[in-house]
Amino acid sequence: MGWFNYYGMIAVAIIMIPNIVSAVVNKSAFENRFHNKVILAFEQIGRYGCMAFMIFNIPYTYFDFWFESALVVYLSVNGALLALYLLGWIIYRKGRGKAKMFWLSITPTVLFAFSGLMVLSIPLMISSVIFGIGHITISYKNIEW
């Protein structure tokens, strides 16, 4: 795959599209009522780490696909996860319930973790765990309010 992952760049762009549209259409869509600075930092560090390491493979920290036909599996599963993520935005576009929060926080976390595992990218796997802890916790805590 090399140092630049075009597929990862496309996946990150697809994830960002509904977020940007939602932020433009509904200014309060991303209002965060949970103010734990450690968890917020985890989410942001993990988020930007995942986005960066989905696109850029740092030499000696990733080991590329590790089995035959891995690219097909990578593209198929990531495509399905992206479709589920977009479907979540469509189904829950007006809501703010538990299902929406968990769907839209767990799906990208799984996508990042799966991608890291498929290319054996240590920074992406670590970032996905950090992102998952932060993002899922914040989503859960925002439901409680």
pLDDT of residue 2: 86
* Chunked mean pLDDT (size 10), the chain, 145 residues: 93 96 79 86 97 96 93 98 96 81 95 97 98 94 73
Coil vs helix vs strand at 30: coil
Question: Per the structure, how many domains does the chain have?
Answer: 1
pLDDT of residue 99: 86
Q: Note the pTM of the prediction, 2 decimals.
A: 0.92
Boundaries of domain holding 122: 6-144
Residue 1 lies in a domain: no
Residue 123 lies in a domain: yes
Residue 140 lies in a domain: yes
Residue 37 lies in a domain: yes
Residue 74 lies in a domain: yes
Question: How far apart, in whole angstroms, are the C-alpha atoms of residue 37 and residue 39?
Answer: 6
pLDDT of residue 101: 87
